[in-house]
Amino acid sequence: MKLELKKLKGFTPRKGPLLLIIMDGVGLGKKDESNAVYCANTPCLDRLFETELFTTLQAHGTAVGLPSDEDMGNSEVGHNALGAGRVFAQGAKRVNKAIKDGSIFETEQWRRMAAGAKDNGSTFHFIGLLSDGNVHSHIDQLFAMVKRLAEEGVRHVRIHALLDGRDVLEKSALTYIGRTEEVLDRIRSEKGYDYRIASGGGRMVTTMDRYNADWSVVKRGWDAHVLGKARLFSSAREAVETYYKEDPGITDQYLDSFVVADNGKPVGRITDGDYVVFFNFRGDRAIEISRAFEEKDFSEFDREIYPDILYAGMMEYDGDLHIPAHYLVDPPEIDRTVCEYLCSEKVRMFAVSETQKFGHVTYFWNGNKSGYICRDIEEYIEIPSDKIQFDKAPAMKAPEITEKSIELLKSAKFRFGRLNFPNGDMVGHTAVPEAVISAVETVDSCVQRLLDTVKRLDGIAIITADHGNCDEMFTVTGGRRIPKTAHTLNPVPFVIYDPQYAGEYRMAGLSRQGLSNVAGTILNLLGFENVGDYDPSLIKFN
């Protein structure tokens, strides 16, 4: 289908480019010391938030396709909404529906795996993030599948538990392990089946790398889940309690890999003839381990053993590269993204970020599609991220992202550009106040440099965020500060910086406005009418 845009009547776009600046994880929270955005020295953002072209957007829950407004937003669904111009039902919502109506258990893939494990006496393995953070996974979805296998007569199940401490409280692993063991104990006592936790580790150490940033993380997961090579413990609980005792300051996401063993022998290695489901529904940290299980010609690390198994993801994590080959729940079909329309109109554009968020301004922005929409029109720039804990280097690659974006803007080749500063999210996840405040200040100074360039080029900038994080560094319970590493439910800022603004338009003041309203606004500022079935633009012309 040929996509077309109509020119706006009565508004001439600016001579210079339109730049979209996404301050990842920068929400608008309470005006107190828990909020790094409030505490930081941010002269640029302070001025922007006082202008008449400022408003706020919902970046969580139903506004981005999640089940309820109690669900935190995240970078993936946020960038989907920003690029799509409409709200699509997202991972958790789709999986919840498939489990609730039972359709997941009627799929050919589930039937094949469950029947195979039962008939062959094989082990059915689950790997994934063991929490109810509902960003990458939800423990209740895992329990529903485990209980279904017991009902279907599958006698051997193993769980490889990746510990969270990031989308939930930073030292909550024992709570989730306890809940899991209760489910497994009940099945063992009622059915006599062999259901156990087999291995695990903190999510930033084991299995869940993304964007090819650090394959050693995936290798540690492979070693634990497949080879049974990691520190041995009699139970997952013993592993976590031991790690806590050895390093009282450590948090769940950084716990070392572990293997559960009986008499020195791992209880749940993944071996030939087994069945494996990676039960995360979010794609970014699921792709690399999926490749390790599926690719015959794999060269990222030495697997040592490549078991002959049937592997499936909870969802398809990459729709273009079809990773994994098998999955349980269909992903949202996001078509006609804003950049597909702009490509059809030959609008030249660029996208820039560092490794940690490069996939967000490309793959997720483009509707879960890899690669370019039109290579002749677009330019994507990835700046390699440092392999370091982000509180140790809170500036991350923001200065380099800024420099590259300024270079692209000055080239006069592009009418539209988008970039992502990861600092507010990635450093925000550490909940180290000094580092998070420094990260926000870095972003503020980089935004100012970009705005100075946009002004010199007679352009416009949009400044917004995909969700909150650094706007709530801790909560207070019983007079005690509890570090908060998870995303927030706070709104995010939306500002138009237009040095030539002369009252041609105003903020629309929509009754409900979220990230999906940004695409139509981009089209308007580039001189096009909004697409008919896109969510309304955030501006109205006078």
Q: Which helix (H) or strand (E) holds 232?
A: strand 231-233
CA distance 65 to 71: 10
CA distance 334 to 354: 24
For residues 284 and 250, the answer to whether their CB atoms sit within 8 Å is no
HSE at residue 495, side-chain half, CA atoms within 13 A, is 22
For residues 330 and 94, the answer to whether their CB atoms sit within 8 Å is yes
Partners of 382 in beta bridges: 353
Contacts of 138 (CB under 8 A, 6+ apart): 92, 95, 96, 131, 132
Partners of 460 in beta bridges: 18
For residues 227 and 305, the answer to whether their CB atoms sit within 8 Å is yes
For residues 524 and 537, the answer to whether their CB atoms sit within 8 Å is yes
For residues 123 and 269, the answer to whether their CB atoms sit within 8 Å is no
What tokens appear for 525 in the block?
């500022």
CA distance 370 to 91: 18
411 is catalytic: no
Active-site annotation holder among 34, 68, 75, 137: 75
Contacts of 400 (CB under 8 A, 6+ apart): 354, 383
Question: What single-letter DSSP state applies at residue 516?
Answer: G
Q: Cite the active site residues.
A: 75
